[in-house]
Copies of this chain bind each other. A is one copy, B any other.
């Protein structure tokens, strides 16, 4: 039975806690740490039977009975806590992104090189049933050699302007998932990026130095052409689709909704909107990623999403940001760190 500590018990930390409690019989949550600990979190821990509740995450790292930690604290703490945890010999599951600063991600990777701990980055969408179906169809050769990849990723509502300011920009905050998805679905690296964006939803986002709508095109090493479209505000909810077109055919996935019910009446033939946002849409994916993390430890296998994947996604995000600012295609090799 693995003992796990959760560092950062906000919304996503609790999601992982629930998943482990319900679905992962080889592990249990021994402790949580949250610097903004409140009564709700204390009650939540109590309900889950988690007895050790701290404000200082170091208590978890110093606990010799802890086997692994989940780093779910704010983004700026991901890489320093990662390094501390690795040095303490704890396996690490780290929410994305590892860092906005590529050199600090590099430091995490270097630290991992000196250690034997497992390290997994929270690209949860790789574990989604729909995207796994695409991956499987592509990997099996069913659609032949991939030629075109299209990813649509639109949020139902923008984050707060305060969050936008520290988010690293839409490409590092939101599109980063799609960059990882492109690498995952095609099993190939991004070579060059061209990004165009606009402020079409909220001028305050523009004032904060960011865009809210974007189309990003990617050239992949294997020759595939890829395109991602993003919006911070979709009136019909969370829009998460992808399509790979290849020499023998095409595979695509549509959105999930709460039921298959369709009402036909005077107004038309109407089905449900997509599931509202990431917690609804990816609940099962969150459970699977954390299950796989535990299994990687228990069975001493590689994690399927590692620190290098974390690095690449940020690297593409940096190139996209540079492309947007300079209005030209940017090669990944141009980004130095």
- Residues of A whose CB lies within 8 Å of any CB of B are 22-23, 25, 47, 129-130, 132-134, 137, 142-145, 147-148, 150, 152, 154, 194, 196-198, 200-201, 213-215, 217, 219, 223, 225-227, 229, 231, 233-236, 239, 245, 247-273, 327-329
Known: A229-B148, A249-B236. A130 touches B262 (CB 8 A): no
Task: Indicate if the CB atoms of B261 and A269 lie closer than 8 Å.
Answer: no
Q: Which residues of B contact A269 (CB under 8 A)?
A: 236, 257, 270-273
Complex: A266 Cα to B270 Cα, angstroms: 12
Task: Please pick, from B248, B253, B258, B262, the residue contacting A260 in the complex, using a CB distance under 8 A.
Answer: B253
Task: Please pick, from B129, B147, B235, B259, the residue contacting A144 in the complex, using a CB distance under 8 A.
Answer: B235
**A141 → chain B, closest Cβ, in Å?**
12
**A18 → chain B, closest Cβ, in Å?**
9
Q: Which residues of B contact A233 (CB under 8 A)?
A: 247
Number of copies: 4
Task: Indicate if the CB atoms of B231 and A148 lie closer than 8 Å.
Answer: yes
Task: Please pick, from B137, B214, B273, the residue contacting A261 in the complex, using a CB distance under 8 A.
Answer: B137
Task: Indicate if the CB atoms of B262 and A273 lie closer than 8 Å.
Answer: no
Apart from A148-B215, A253-B259, A327-B329: 17 A-B pairs, beta carbons within 8 A: A130-B259, A130-B261, A132-B259, A133-B272, A148-B213, A150-B150, A194-B217, A213-B225, A225-B229, A227-B227, A231-B245, A235-B248, A235-B249, A249-B265, A251-B262, A252-B264, A253-B262
Known: A200-B147, A269-B271, A270-B268. A225 touches B236 (CB 8 A): no
Task: Please pick, from B129, B196, B268, the residue contacting A217 in the complex, using a CB distance under 8 A.
Answer: B196
Can you list 7 residue pairs at the A/B interface with Cβ under 8 Å?
Answer: A132-B259, A215-B225, A236-B249, A236-B264, A248-B266, A253-B262, A269-B273
Task: Please pick, from B130, B150, B239, B266, the residue contacting A236 in the complex, using a CB distance under 8 A.
Answer: B266
Known: A245-B154, A265-B235. A219 touches B196 (CB 8 A): yes
Q: Which residues of B contact A145 (CB under 8 A)?
A: 200
Task: Please pick, from B132, B236, B247, the residue contacting A201 in the complex, using a CB distance under 8 A.
Answer: B247
Q: Which residues of B contact A235 (CB under 8 A)?
A: 144, 247-250, 264-266
Shortest Cβ distance from A226 into B: residue: B215
Complex: A200 Cα to B220 Cα, angstroms: 13
Task: Indicate if the CB atoms of A150 and B229 lie closer than 8 Å.
Answer: yes
Complex: A78 Cα to B271 Cα, angstroms: 40
Complex: A271 Cα to B215 Cα, angstroms: 27
Cβ-closest 10 pairs across A and B: A249-B265, A133-B261, A133-B259, A236-B264, A254-B260, A268-B270, A270-B270, A22-B22, A250-B264, A269-B271
